[in-house]
Amino acid sequence: METPEVEKCRTGSSGQPDEIDSILEKYRGRKDALIPALYDIQKVMNYLPESAAVKVAEALEVPVSKVYGVATFYTLFSVKPRGKHIIRVCESAPCHVLGAMNVVKELERELGIKVGETTKDGRFTLELTSCLGTCGVAPAIMIDDVVYGNLTADKIPHILSEYR
């Protein structure tokens, strides 16, 4: 069953095209504002569909190929629909050494998806990320804006239950 939010994102319209236009109003003609513009739009749309990228390209007067290039360069942006909650597992060396892969495996098992995928109910997307800057509590994950550290596989179900 899909939540209404995800349904909106999948269609790429989000039901409020005017909202995109009003976000872009303050960036019009500003080639330097590509990242903030994409960030604001993704906050509303959950991801960056092609239709939104075209609007960004028009407003900022940059080629849409560049919009797509920037949107795919940064892991915080997505050009594919994503779940309501984004789980990012740190894949840098300290987390890796302290068992990040066990955490990934447990997340995949619990959610029934692989890294890069979204659960059928549209609730979670599982991604890898570069260093979260919390090496002191490695291995760490971040769900939306919240970091969880000192993880072991057995802590995962409880953490996820907060978001279910």
Contact set with another protein (CB under 8 A):
50, 53-54, 62-69, 72-73, 79
Q: Are 149 and 95 in contact (CB under 8 A)?
A: no
Q: Whose Cβ is closer to another protein: residue 3's or residue 75's? A: 75
In whole angstroms, what is the distance from residue 157 CA to residue 33 CA?
Answer: 40
Tell me the closest approach of the beta carbon of residue 48 to another protein, in angstroms: 10
Tell me the closest approach of the beta carbon of residue 50 to another protein, in angstroms: 5
At position 149, the amino acid (one-letter code) is: G
Residue 70 structure tokens:
């920037």
Q: Whose Cβ is closer to another protein: residue 43's or residue 73's? A: 73
Tell me the closest approach of the beta carbon of residue 57 to another protein, in angstroms: 8
Q: Are 126 and 89 in contact (CB under 8 A)?
A: yes
Give the orientation angle of helix 50-60 with respect to helix 64-73, to 10 degrees: 120
Q: Whose Cβ is closer to another protein: residue 73's or residue 164's? A: 73
Omega prior to 81 cis, within 30 of 0:
no
Closest by Cα among 12, 64, 10 to 37: 64
Tell me the closest approach of the beta carbon of residue 159 to another protein, in angstroms: 29
Q: Whose Cβ is closer to another protein: residue 61's or residue 162's? A: 61
Q: Whose Cβ is closer to another protein: residue 53's or residue 111's? A: 53
Tell me the closest approach of the beta carbon of residue 38 to another protein, in angstroms: 13
At position 14, the amino acid (one-letter code) is: S
In whole angstroms, what is the distance from residue 110 CA to residue 61 CA?
Answer: 44
